[in-house]
């Protein structure tokens, strides 16, 4: 496993506008990207830049969204996952599979337009972990 940089911390929220206000007013964030929808994942996504990584705000689009289930347990939202970059997504996936760690679904294109997959928190020290191929550009 070649561990790359921490790309982002995923944060579930019932309201992206309320969370953006928090990150701007309390945390001093100055760069907030335009929100967009990922229909297949049932989420609206908004990236907030920090000097060395991003915060990925995730708001459910509907009740069947996986973020809706998270918000049922944590109504005010909270930390949802960590995302680390790797140089080669297929190599990384094969390694996790070879270790018997549970990968959640197929490798797919993530919010940054590069391939990603998720590894089950119970096999990752309690942390839902997103593995993302480092953007080429
Ligand atoms: Co993410």
CATH classification of the domain holding 91: 3.10.180.10
Distance 56 CA to ligand 1 centre (A): 6
Does residue 111 belong to any structural domain of this protein?
Answer: yes
- Look up the pTM and report it: 0.95
Distance 99 CA to ligand 1 centre (A): 23
Per-residue pLDDT of 26-77, as tens digits, reads 999 999 999 999 998 999 999 999 999 999 999 999 999 999 999 999 999 9
Q: What is the model's pLDDT at position 90?
A: 97
Does residue 104 belong to any structural domain of this protein?
Answer: yes
**High-pLDDT (> 70) share of the chain, %:** 100
Does residue 1 belong to any structural domain of this protein?
Answer: no
Cα angle: 8, vertex 13, 18; to 5 degrees: 105
Report the distance separating Cα 64 and Cα 137, nearest Å. 34
Residue 137 has pLDDT above 80, yes or no: no
- What is the tally of helices (H) and strands (E) in the chain? 3, 8
Range 105-121 average pLDDT:
95
* Radius of gyration of the chain from its Cα atoms, rounded to whole angstroms: 15
User: Is 97 an annotated catalytic residue?
Assistant: no
Domain boundaries, position 11: 6-133
pLDDT band at 136 (very low <50, low <70, confident <90, very high): confident
Residue 53 structure tokens: 């990584």
Does residue 10 belong to any structural domain of this protein?
Answer: yes
Does residue 39 belong to any structural domain of this protein?
Answer: yes
Does residue 122 belong to any structural domain of this protein?
Answer: yes
How many distinct structural domains can be found in the chain?
A: 1
Among residues 56, 59, 85, 130, which one is catalytic? 130
Does residue 108 belong to any structural domain of this protein?
Answer: yes
């Amino acid at each position: 496993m070649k561990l790359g940089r921490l790309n982002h911390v995923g944060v579930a929220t019932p309201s992206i506008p309320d969370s953006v206000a928090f990150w701007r007013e309390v945390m001093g964030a100055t760069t907030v990207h335009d929100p967009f929808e990922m229909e297949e994942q049932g989420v609206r996504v908004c990236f907030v830049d920090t000097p060395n990584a991003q915060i990925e705000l995730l708001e459910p689009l509907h009740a069947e969204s996986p973020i809706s289930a998270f918000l049922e347990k944590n109504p005010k939202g909270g930390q949802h996952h960590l995302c680390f970059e790797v140089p080669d997504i297929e190599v990384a996936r094969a390694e996790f599979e070879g270790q018997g760690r549970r990968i959640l679904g197929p490798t797919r294109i993530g919010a940054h337009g590069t391939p990603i997959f998720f590894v089950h928190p119970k096999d990752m020290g309690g942390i839902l972990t997103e593995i993302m191929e480092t953007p080429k550009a």
